Amino acid sequence: MKDGDVLVVTGEQVRALLNGREREVLDCVDRAYRAHGRGESVLPHSSFLRFPGESSRRIISLAAYLGGEFSLAGIKWIASFPENVGAGIDRASAVMILNSPDTGRPYAVLESSIVSAKRTAASAAVATRVLLHGVQPERVGIVGGGVINFETVRYLIALLGGISELLVYDTNRGRAEFFLDRCRAELGVMHADLADSGEAVLESCALTSVATTATQPHFQDLKLPPDTVVLHLSLRDFTPDMILQCNNVVDDIDHVCRADTSIHLAEKRSGSRDFINAALPDLIEKPRAYRLDKTRPVIFSPFGLGVLDIAVGQMVYDLILQFDGGIVINSFLPVPWRETAETCIDLSD
């Protein structure tokens, strides 16, 4: 590619490049978290575009710079339209632009809903590794039968070496059955069953991933065993009282205390952020420095950091160059302004 060219990578190309590379993505996300924890990043707050009269539809922009070993800049622009699922269309659609941190010039445009799902799943798996301390859960619970949880199962299998038993709940039973069938067929999960409620999953599984489209808290008064770890990927399912009764680990304290997440509501209720025990990047670097109350369950609430998106996006870019793939748009950027003059300026008489 020449300067001024832009490489476009489609969703199916992203999927083909990343499937089977779960360990590499886990390592990439782990290193991005560590760099962020060392302060080698610039991460503005996400910006939410909402639509009049619509509480669930939104488009979010996540701009990020990741320095250190990465030296990356870019932005993800991701739409979440839950009603799409009923029409047979994915809830999320996204595009990512990668820019040179030296010149600011864009050099790649990637379909990014798949990157987003995989970095979210990898984030959940990295948190699981830290929070379970190597303990193998006998049963993994799933609340929400969509793509985020499907990828989370994929990445938990990569992390744990397999899943002995899977218990799944979705408000739409047909969606839950489809989820189970796909886990069996594509991910090799042999023992899987459906639950009657999300509460039943949470109260009976040592590790549960919650990824729903909820906009208001709906889980309350749960009796979670103290050794339970909950991956609260959808962020708005638990009441403030439930949050305040648990150990709380987040990806970034400042970012997650926004947009009426369960953590944000708990902050409003309690008047402080003291109930947040640790941020994941700090736990990764110094797991012994943070004490969690062993008599309480742990809820991990990741807001989703743009630094993870651009780190995985750059991984996709590097891989597709190796295979001479993607679609190169030649001379996408204009020639420099000084070179656009059509005639010479003659100042002579």
Is 287 within 8 Å of 277 (Cβ atoms)?
no
In three state form, how does the secondary structure of the chain look? Answer: CCCCCEEEECHHHHHHHHCCCHHHHHHHHHHHHHHHHCCCEECCCCEEEEECCEEEEEEEEEEEEECCCCCEEEEEEEEECHHHHHHCCCCEEEEEEEECCCCCCEEEEEECHHHHHHHHHHHHHHHHHHHHCCCCCCCEEEECCCHHHHHHHHHHHHHHCCCCCEEEECCCHHHHHHHHHHHHHHHCCCCEEECCCHHHHHHHCCEEEECCCCCCCCECCCCCCCCCEEEECCCCCECHHHHHCCEEEECCHHHHCCCCCHHHHHHHHHCCCCCEEEEHHHHHHCHHHCCCCCCCCEEEECCCCHHHHHHHHHHHHHHHHHCCCCEEECCCCCCCHHHCCCCCCCCCC
Is 176 within 8 Å of 169 (Cβ atoms)?
yes
Nearest to 309 by CA among 49, 92, 140: 92
Angstrom distance (rounded) from CA 215 to CA 55:
8
Q: Please name the fold of domain 133-301.
A: Rossmann fold (3.40.50)
Local confidence pLDDT in tens for the 349 residues of the chain: 888 999 999 999 999 999 999 999 999 999 999 999 999 999 999 999 999 988 789 999 999 999 999 999 999 999 999 899 889 899 999 999 999 999 999 999 999 999 999 999 999 999 999 999 888 998 999 999 999 999 999 999 999 999 999 999 999 999 999 999 999 999 999 999 999 999 999 999 999 999 999 999 999 999 999 999 999 999 999 999 999 999 999 999 999 999 999 999 999 999 999 999 999 999 999 887 788 899 999 999 999 999 999 999 999 999 999 999 999 999 999 998 888 886 555 555 5
Report the CATH number of the 6-114+306-335 domain: 3.30.1780.10
* Residue 287: how many other CB atoms lie within 10 Å: 13
| Backbone phi and psi for residue 10, each to the nearest 5 degrees, phi listed first | -80, 165
**What is the predicted pLDDT for the residue at 348?**
59
CATH 3.30.1780.10 intervals, the chain: 6-114+306-335
CATH 3.40.50.720 intervals, the chain: 133-301
**What is the predicted pLDDT for the residue at 347?**
54
**What is the predicted pLDDT for the residue at 289?**
75
Angstrom distance (rounded) from CA 224 to CA 233:
18
Q: Which two tokens stand for residue 137?
A: 């859960």
**What is the predicted pLDDT for the residue at 342?**
66
pTM above 0.85, yes or no: yes
